[in-house]
Amino acid sequence: MANNSLDSHVPPNAIPTTVLPESLNSISLSLQLFFCLVMASILLLALLGNMVVCLMVYQRSAMRSAINLLLASLAFADMMLAIFSMPFTLVTVMTINWVFGEVFCRVSAMLFWFFAVGGVAVLLIISIDRFLIIVQKQDKLSPQKAKVLIAVTWGFAFFFSLPLAVGSLGLQVPPRAPQCVFGYSPKPANHAYVLLLMLVSFFFPFIVMLYTFMGILNTIRHNTARIHSHPDGFCRNQASTLRLLSLEKPFQININVSFKTRAFSTILILFTVFTVCWAPFTAYCVVSTFNYEFYHKNSFFQFSTWVLWLCYLKSALNPIIYFCRIKKFRDACLELIPKYFKFLHQLPGTTKRRIQPRAVYICERD
């Protein structure tokens, strides 16, 4: 789509619409079929998987811990993306044409960034909570506080996404891209908003989460070195903390780092998936807004589709991560499946319930 904001006859608040030559927005039939199949699979998995996560937390009072409420909020954001963004992108990829009107173009862009920013903010809260538990030895996040933080998060996301629906930002109606995206604009106001939105949706959360994870890994490495250097003294301290009875045999240390840091490693996996899926899309938004040549390339539609389905892939992968990494979610999910469909069995081994989330090691005797 050409940059119509440069045309004098276009009203300043109108969304540019221009019919492109077919060569600028067409893709090969095989590639179009591939995009449709991939997006349809991502849509179904993101919708059904995240719906199950939300239902489990809603229906089971035992699942409503602070961390599970935050994970359910993240799943809700991913599910809403699957409902309000992915179907329209899929239709546009199938038809190479936006058939939903200019008003809904702005609304869909606002909803996309509303749920995207909300989900990222929740993931940031979870990462900070793990940092406080493991590094600062503070486990203060209760379910009530988690609900307040979730409400604040959605208010924050609404504040940053609302200008897309009511403002005069340089949104472009497809068919240049498979959904309403930031097009090239020479206006400084558009540049400032895009940079601010990218800052709050990717760059700032990425930096903060990277700092928290580095701090957590450093703490775990430091504690591991302490135990190997002073095993007897560490065990005596842990004995008083865990209220162990007097034992005839000396303590031996069972370093159960894999179990005690499992929640942290799950959040680390979510962070890695977020980075891999959203980094290309963030760069794409910035470059398309600032670079005229990039935005007007004949391959822009294809490139937009690639980065969009990669962006949506995060919403489909998150419930798979929950199922594989969180035993409570896995057990509850398996209970929802009818018996004659239960091809997946519980993983072998037992999981010990943690007493204190900030504990990293346990001491046992022979």
Concatenate the DSSP letters of all residues of 316-332 into one string.
HHHHHHHHHH-HHHHHH
Angstrom distance (rounded) from CA 317 to CA 90: 18
- The pLDDT assigned to 170 comes to 66
- Give the start-to-end residue ranges of the domains of the chain: 4-226+260-357
pTM as predicted: 0.77
Q: Are 108 and 174 a contacting pair, CB within 8 Å?
A: no
Which residues, at least 6 apart from 88, have a Cβ–Cβ distance to it below 8 Å? 100, 104, 108, 179
Residues 26-53 as b or e (16 or more Cβ within 10 Å = b): ebeeeebeebeebbeebbebbbebbbbb
Angstrom distance (rounded) from CA 163 to CA 304: 22
pLDDT tens sequence for the chain (366 residues): 333 333 333 444 444 444 444 444 557 888 889 989 999 999 999 999 999 899 888 888 878 888 889 999 999 999 999 999 999 999 988 888 888 888 888 889 999 999 999 999 999 999 999 898 888 888 778 899 999 999 999 999 999 999 888 866 667 766 678 888 888 888 888 899 999 999 999 999 999 999 999 998 888 888 777 666 655 555 555 444 444 333 444 434 343 444 445 677 888 899 999 999 999 999 999 998 898 888 888 888 888 889 999 999 999 999 999 888 888 778 877 776 655 455 544 444 444 444 444 444 334 444
Burial of 166 (0-12, 13-18, 19+ CB in 10 A): exposed
Angstrom distance (rounded) from CA 291 to CA 22: 22
Q: Which CATH number fits domain 4-226+260-357: 1.20.1070.10, 1.10.150.120, 1.25.40.20, 2.40.10.220?
A: 1.20.1070.10
- Phi and psi of 168, rounded to 5°? -115, 40
Which residues, at least 6 apart from 131, have a Cβ–Cβ distance to it below 8 Å? 212, 213, 215, 216
